[in-house]
Chains A and B, each alone.
Chain A
Amino acid sequence: NAGVTQTPKFQVLKTGQSMTLQCAQDMNHNSMYWYRQDPGMGLRLIYYSASEGTTDKGEVPNGYNVSRLNKREFSLRLESAAPSQTSVYFCASSTQWNQPQHFGDGTRLSIL
C-alpha cells in the first residue's frame, strides 16, 4: 500500500527559481492538503482541496499555488522561491474533515 506519495524527497533551489511539488494518493480520498513544517511552528496549512475541482487557502498561502489535477493528485507550486520558503512540506489526504489524515513522508526543500 503506497498511501500518500510525495516527489521529490529532497530539493535545493536558488532564490527566484520555480518548482512544483507532486503528491498522489491511492486511497480514493476526497480531501487533500499541503502543510509546511518548521522548527517550533508545528504544521501549518498552506492550501487544501475538500474535493476534486475545489481548492482553498489555508493559514500561510502567500507565495504558493496549487492544482487539484484529479482525485488522486494535488500539486504545490512555488513560482519564485524565497529563502523563507525553506521548510519540510507534507501532503496529506482524508475522506472528510473528521477522519484521519494520512501523510506522505515529506519533501525537504532548501532555498539558497
Chain B
Amino acid sequence: QQQVKQSPQSLIVQKGGISIINCAYENTAFDYFPWYQQFPGKGPALLIAIRPDVSEKKEGRFTISFNKSAKQFSLHIMDSQPGDSATYFCAASAKGGSEKLVFGKGTKLTVNP
C-alpha cells in the first residue's frame, strides 16, 4: 500500500517557469513532511520541510503548500532554472515510535534553457 502518492512522474518546464509537484497521503498520523532533491549519481538531500501547524513554508524560490483537510502538500519552484533539473521526492513520517520516512515515487524535473 503506497502511503504517499506523488505526481507527476516527470515534468518539463521552461527556464523561468513555475514547477509544481503534488503529493497526497492517507495516514492522518503523519506529522512531518520533507522534500528531498536528488541529482544523478548522488544521494537525496533535504530541500525543505513542513510540519502541519503551518499551511505554507518558503525558502528562496522553493515553497511548500500544505492542506491538512485535503491531506495534500505540494512543492512549488518559482523561476525554475536548468540547475533545478533533478528528481524530487516528497516524504512523510509519523511520531509514535516508528521512526520511518515514507517516500513518494519521485518526480523527474527537467528545466529547459
A residues neighboring B (CB under 8 Å)? 4, 31, 33, 40-45, 48, 50, 56, 58, 90, 92, 96-98, 100-106
Contact = CB atoms under 8 A, between A and B. Distances in A.
B19 to A, nearest CB: 18
Contact of A97 (B46, B93, B103, B105): B93
Contact-residue bracket for chain B: 20 to 34
Contact of B103 (A42, A98, A100, A104): A42
Contact of A98 (B9, B31, B41, B42): B31
Q: 6 shortest A-B CB distances, which residue pairs? A: A103-B43, A42-B105, A100-B46, A98-B32, A43-B103, A50-B99
B43 A4 contact: yes
Contacts of A40: 9, 105-106
B100 A43 contact: no
